[in-house]
Structure 1
Amino acid sequence: MPLDAYGVLSGTLHRHFRDQPDTQGRWFHVNLEVDAPAGRHRCAVDVDSKQSTTGVQWKVFTLAASVLDPVPSLDPGYHDLSASPGSGALDYLRHPGLQHRPGCAGVIRPPARLRELLNRLNPPRPWTSGSNLDAAQALEPLLVPGREILVFGEPFDHGLGMHNIHQNQGDPYGSQWWDDNGTWQDGATLTRRPDGHYDVFLNKFSSQAGHTGPDGHPV
């Protein structure tokens, strides 16, 4: 079954801070404090390795606001999103703006010379692997206080805030997160630049598959 709830928080970034060793609990997070009409939300971006030998994985890139429609035009606050294309929901493996090479999904592998040209015109977006601290250091330059921010994930059951701000599909059979697998419910952190584009931080765990079926389970 998918997450109990999924949506996006639109607001203004107040500040961020890392979990400290004596307060982080089981997993390590970069915590965002986001101001919205209901109050100040705490958003816990999970950049822990989940005990994986290769650590957490992430991508950082920039997108035009139009790629994220209709989310950029939503009023500040939390909004539920249906787990379906066109709703504004994110899916790392299916959303055309989040592909490994945007606009090239399903294209037959071209000859080497053409691949070199494509790399220059439309560079790929490979995952970077590293420790939780490496991932935190990759995210933090995007976290400029006062910037408009979009946080995708699951709202807290109690209090203002978000969690499951990471890929939410592809967890292996037998893991404690298997039941949360689903499509069009991935978490992400995006901040709006002065030019109107969005800086995007995607994060996943190396144990999560890069190919999933319609139920979000690995294939």
Structure 2
Amino acid sequence: MPLREGYGVVIGTVNNHFIESPDSEGRWPHYHINVATPMGIYECVINLKSRTKIKIEYKEIKNLTKIHFFNILSKPDGFHPLESNSESGALDFIRHPGIKNTSTWKPENGTNVIKLMRSYLKEVKRICIFGEPYDKGLGIHNVHMNQGDKIGSIFAKENAIWQDGGVMFEYEHPNKRLCALLTKFEGQSLDTDELGRPQ
């Protein structure tokens, strides 16, 4: 089923960013990126490490082919709902031509993805964060793969294609480029059917 509150992308500039403090973090601590848009500041929360046996995996793509992301890059700053299909600009880690068959997935170790995120946020001109909007207030969560969860698990109800969350970074200096940092939980399958269920 699709994400309960829908799916979309917030585009803007980075206002500030930080990792949750140890006394407020949960099982999968969040990295907060507050994104400035004409509508206000969007709080975007991203799982970059795990306090459980279910670890997080990540993929970084250092030079995305911009033509595959024209539908997103051409949008103005703000929040944009996206249809869960290949034409809207939505992400699908398995099916998107700009993402599939790029780099490999690697395991997080508690600090490596946090350091990587901080490095990507330096000098970024514009940021695009994909995921599920908050039901109240301005914010985005579920900024990770949203398909491939084992049938019968508590997250299986959110399995669907073309609704994966992720972060894209647009730079002007020292050269124009587009990068991405994507995450998933290690139990999520990278082989799914047309309903996003593991095969």
Q: TM-score, normalised by structure 2?
A: 0.92
1:136 pairs, out of 114, 118, 122, with 114
CA distance in 2, matches of 1:197, 1:218: 33
Q: Does the aligned pair in 2 maintain the 1:41–1:162 contact within 8 Å? A: yes
Q: Does the aligned pair in 2 maintain the 1:58–1:202 contact within 8 Å? A: yes
Q: Does the aligned pair in 1 maintain the 2:13–2:127 contact within 8 Å? A: yes
2:156 match: 178
2:184 match: 204
1:96 alignment partner, SS class: coil
| Deviation per residue, 1:72-91 (Å, 9 max, x gap) | 01011000000000110000
Paired amino acid for 1:191: F
| Runs of 4+ residues over 6 Å off in structure 1 | none
2:77 match: 76
1:147 pairs, out of 102, 125, 135, with 125
1:191 pairs, out of 169, 173, 177, with 169
| Displacement after TM superposition at 1:198 (Å) | 1.2
Instruction: Say whether residues 1:59 and 2:37 are aligned partners.
Output: no
Q: CA RMSD in A?
A: 1.5
Tell me, which stretches of 5 or more residues in structure 2 are unaligned?
none
2:137 pairs, out of 150, 159, 163, with 159
Pick the structure with greater CA Rg: 1
| Displacement after TM superposition at 1:177 (Å) | 0.5
Relative to its length, the structure with more helix (as a share) is 1
1:47 match: 48
Paired amino acid for 2:2: P
Identity percentage over the alignment?
35
CA distance in 1, matches of 2:89, 2:124: 23
| Displacement after TM superposition at 1:197 (Å) | 2.0
| Displacement after TM superposition at 1:178 (Å) | 0.4
CA distance in 2, matches of 1:51, 1:212: 24
Size of the aligned set, in residue pairs, is: 195
| Displacement after TM superposition at 1:145 (Å) | 5.9
Q: Does the aligned pair in 1 maintain the 2:28–2:52 contact within 8 Å? A: no
Q: TM-score, normalised by structure 1?
A: 0.84
| Displacement after TM superposition at 1:97 (Å) | 0.6
